[in-house]
Amino acid sequence: MSKKNSYLALFFKSIPIGLANTLPGVSGGTLALVLNIYETLINAIKDIKVKKLFVIGLGAAAGVLFGSAVITDLYQNQPLLVNYFLFGLVITSAHSTYKKIGHLSFLKLLVMLLAFAFALFFAREIQFGFLNAEGLMLFFIAGFFGSVAMILPGISGGTLLILMGVYHPVLKAINNLDFAILIVFGAGVAAGLLVFAWLFSYLLQKHQKEIMVVLTGLILGSSAAVFPARFNIVGLAAFAAGAVIIIILEIIGQNT
């Protein structure tokens, strides 16, 4: 196995992906693109490559545990600064998809704007009135559709879980090790990943540049979910920190 695809590299690259899925406004799929393991992730799910999935899942689980235990508390205590930081993350990460779209034609720009508008609507947290499931079934359904956000750049898994009303219950279940909820939610995630990985793999193989146009619009539009509520000097430093982290992760993705 090459250095780029080594299990150790996959493990460490998967940690920020799991972390991202606990944060509203940030997409794990986006960080997978930044870290240059997006296609590896999709193909591992599609072809059920157990060893790679285990390593990626272990790293992502570490990120989720860290996020649920630390980052969410920080978000509650310093929401403005965290939003500046996340805004820097999201905006800068759009560079990873933009550089792959080739020549920017009028049609590509139009598609990007439509994707931006969709993500902007989504980021405003319009509640899903059609979701009438209750109990454990709700967690399975949330896991199934939440899996799309976990691998689709530009759509935040955390935001989607908020819309479904299970964001805080899932984090609470992680912290309290509520295995009934975690197993059902995990089963929904696994089912969703298997279904949608095939679709995303096909689209990437046949229409990569067009998909990157859509993803760029989705990522930029999703930044509305973490747009800072007011101007803050310290917040600008947090924004810069978020941008620098993405630049560092992108360099790591290109060289490991």
**Letter string b/e over residues 52-74, b meaning 16 or more CB atoms within 10 A of that residue's CB:** bbebbbbbbebbbbebbeebbee
- The answer for 134, left when phi > 0, alpha when psi is -120 to 50, beta otherwise, is beta
Rounded to two decimals, the pTM is 0.73
What string of pLDDT tens digits covers the 256 residues of the chain? Answer: 444 458 888 898 888 888 887 776 677 888 888 888 888 888 888 888 888 889 988 998 898 888 777 776 787 788 899 889 888 988 888 888 888 888 888 999 999 999 898 877 766 655 444 445 567 888 898 888 878 777 777 676 666 777 677 777 888 888 788 888 889 998 998 888 888 888 888 887 888 888 889 888 888 887 887 788 888 899 999 999 989 988 888 888 777 6
C-alpha 102, offset from chain centre: 24
